[in-house]
Structure 1
């Protein structure tokens, strides 16, 4: 199915490069999930391939890939291992957004580009237990105080995906003296910065999204890289498409497993495999229809974002595509499990892992209720002429 969406040699070459790692990545997925351990080997392979530099612009020595390119590659990767794809997707998206929007000054962009080219990995650390999802506009409980020309940062962040291997954390903190939220680029080796292993969930276990603990972490002014006076969730950002790309990739893996099972499983009550049964064919047809609908939506939105002439007309498409694909992925995996039957619940069966992992998408921003409300308000305001 994905071949239809490959548009150039760069995309095709990178899809082929990733497929070289398919067997290796798939072979370790169950172990990482069972042990709730981060797939460090997979991430190291991606660094060695140069994958983690792809969303860095060519002017800075990177691959210069677009959001469409990233989405295509992230979907491919997710079909091998969801935890690996979701984890590295945050790095890919953060780098892509920073450099596309020039969120930092030139000196900081030059510095961090060199770090990325040397293998640095970054993720934003914004979620907190007290404030919930940062996209809902809550003020961070993490705070930064200016003292003797330095910033002292104290707080705790949860859902810090890829925490075992991140070299840099882009931490949000409330700055009272500026009455704004600042983002500080913190290296993991800073005194007072630590990771508390709190990740104990049933979905995306391998991401090790532990708590980041900050106790009077002291940095100079150069580490204050962004200042936001309003919620970041209101800003258009096509790089978040790595999230739906991950879940459609997992759905594709579930579909492929179910079809292989249907073609091979032949109970003695039938003269052939279960793929000949009308109810099984019906489920497979529904799965492929949902995949087609979701995938065309995803790549049309990515294509529109990359087109400067079309981007101004985007309103809520990024939230809508994430909503659509996450819920479609849940539906697709459910249908795949119906085809396979009770065997899909065995711990050794990958479908039960896919089933758990796609549900994590419901809690990645933006949440479904926010997306639906924004669609409604946009429609109502346009009707009013606002």
Structure 2
């Protein structure tokens, strides 16, 4: 039954859910999609945190959601990533309101009533990463009352748990757009012709995130659900028309927080192991060994530094709106530091536990694998460093005398 009582701390709720998710991961491993986790997200009211108050949600702020997402990821990173994707979408929609209000209300009400996440479906086999440009091959053709969508999307995170698939399509040329338009088709789960093919269960990382292929075989989309149309060649972005590169919006910080949570989970698992592992040859916990303390110190230092920038950036976005034009570089830096800190920390965790870390008896091998997925979330390291570098060069460019 869906929780409807007064506001509950997002952090406390995330902690409670993380404990459930971690217990399931220990019992069931990370093969297969964790449908129970997503039922809990709906029934316990976590998804309501993403929705605006004027449409029945509890509308948690950016800082609170960044903190909550890190804690949720300590229990199960795959589930937390799906929620972060929904946060990226809903954060933008509730702040910018680029859709007709009746359409936005329809989507919010459905999420409140029946649960299910929401995600953008843009990556295609030929297109590659959305962060590197390109025009979708998925097409929409006019039909009475709407459009018919055909195409194939890959890496649709959370596909088995989504209520809405925000699908990037190309519309045919018109007098207003001679080269055609790119638009978002709002496709509801269960639409005739919508087919999900599980292709991710044996992946290296985040095996429970449902990063499936999605096929559209003449899926009908009503006219009012074809939104955010723009001529091909014009920049995507906010309602104001300002370009927004993938992974550089403020709500992308919730994705960075997921990987920080993976690193934190590895730190806690490594500490637990070190404090309780007493080899007979040593006669005391390995935590007393200097080299173990140094490994744990490396993990802690990297995570503390990444968390500091992550939260500082979230606070700056909320509390200093005048800084927002300059914050994409800091958002890129936060993502870069969080994912690389997670990779470094999870590797150090393996070294703390030695050979036991390679077995499923410890969660360290799962955290090690899951952290690697962060390297491929936009912006990838090369793009992130480019954004950061260009910003620094601009800031410190000497002006002519």
When the two structures are superposed, what TM-score results if normalisation uses the length of structure 2?
Answer: 0.88
Q: Hey, what does 1:269 align to over in structure 2?
A: 281
Q: Hey, what does 1:230 align to over in structure 2?
A: 235
Q: Work out the CA distance in 2 between the residues paired with 1:302 and 1:280.
A: 33
Task: Provide, for residues 310-354 of structure 1, a one-character-per-residue CA deviation record: whole Å limited to 9, x for no partner.
Answer: 323313121221111101100001111111111101133211110
Task: Provide, for residues 263-309 of structure 1, a one-character-per-residue CA deviation record: whole Å limited to 9, x for no partner.
Answer: 11111222411111111111111111111101001101111112223
Structure 2: state its 5+ residue gaps: 1-5, 238-243
Task: Give the SS at the match of 2:161.
Answer: coil
Contact 1:123–1:166 (CA<8 Å) still a contact in 2?
yes
Q: Hey, what does 2:86 align to over in structure 1?
A: 91
Q: Hey, what does 1:145 align to over in structure 2?
A: 141
Task: Give the SS at the match of 2:219.
Answer: strand
Task: Choose from 151, 163, 167 the match for 1:167.
Answer: 163
1:241 aligned onto 2:253: yes
Check 1:87–1:380 CA distance in 2 against 1; reply closer, same or farther (3 A cut): same
Q: Hey, what does 2:15 align to over in structure 1?
A: 19
1:202: how far off? Answer: 1.5
Task: Give the SS at the match of 1:156.
Answer: strand
Q: Work out the CA distance in 2 between the residues paired with 1:71 and 1:320.
A: 15
Q: Hey, what does 1:310 align to over in structure 2?
A: 323
Check 1:336–1:10 CA distance in 2 against 1; reply closer, same or farther (3 A cut): farther
Structure 1: state its 5+ residue gaps: 1-8
Q: Work out the CA distance in 2 between the residues paired with 1:70 and 1:262.
A: 31
Q: Work out the CA distance in 2 between the residues paired with 1:20 and 1:377.
A: 42
Q: Hey, what does 1:255 align to over in structure 2?
A: 267
Q: Work out the CA distance in 1 between the residues paired with 2:85 and 2:328.
A: 22
Q: Hey, what does 1:79 align to over in structure 2?
A: 74
1:348 aligned onto 2:361: yes
Check 1:297–1:187 CA distance in 2 against 1; reply closer, same or farther (3 A cut): same
Q: Hey, what does 2:220 align to over in structure 1?
A: 218
Contact 2:51–2:108 (CA<8 Å) still a contact in 1?
yes
Q: Work out the CA distance in 1 between the residues paired with 2:315 and 2:220.
A: 42
Task: Give the SS at the match of 2:235.
Answer: coil
1:65: how far off? Answer: 1.2
Q: Hey, what does 1:3 align to over in structure 2?
A: none
Q: Work out the CA distance in 2 between the residues paired with 1:50 and 1:201.
A: 30
Alignment of 1:37-52 (within 5 A): 37-52=32-47
1:324 aligned onto 2:337: yes
Alignment of 1:114-129 (within 5 A): 114-118=109-113, 119-129=115-125
Q: Work out the CA distance in 1 between the residues paired with 2:119 and 2:26.
A: 25
Check 1:302–1:32 CA distance in 2 against 1; reply closer, same or farther (3 A cut): farther
Q: Hey, what does 1:208 align to over in structure 2?
A: 210
Q: Work out the CA distance in 1 between the residues paired with 2:391 and 2:11.
A: 37
Task: Choose from 342, 345, 368 the match for 2:381.
Answer: 368
Q: Work out the CA distance in 2 between the residues paired with 1:366 and 1:103.
A: 23
Q: Hey, what does 1:182 align to over in structure 2?
A: 183
1:384: how far off? Answer: 7.5
Q: Work out the CA distance in 2 between the residues paired with 1:172 and 1:339.
A: 45
Contact 2:38–2:116 (CA<8 Å) still a contact in 1?
no
Q: Work out the CA distance in 2 between the residues paired with 1:244 and 1:26.
A: 20
Check 1:315–1:209 CA distance in 2 against 1; reply closer, same or farther (3 A cut): closer
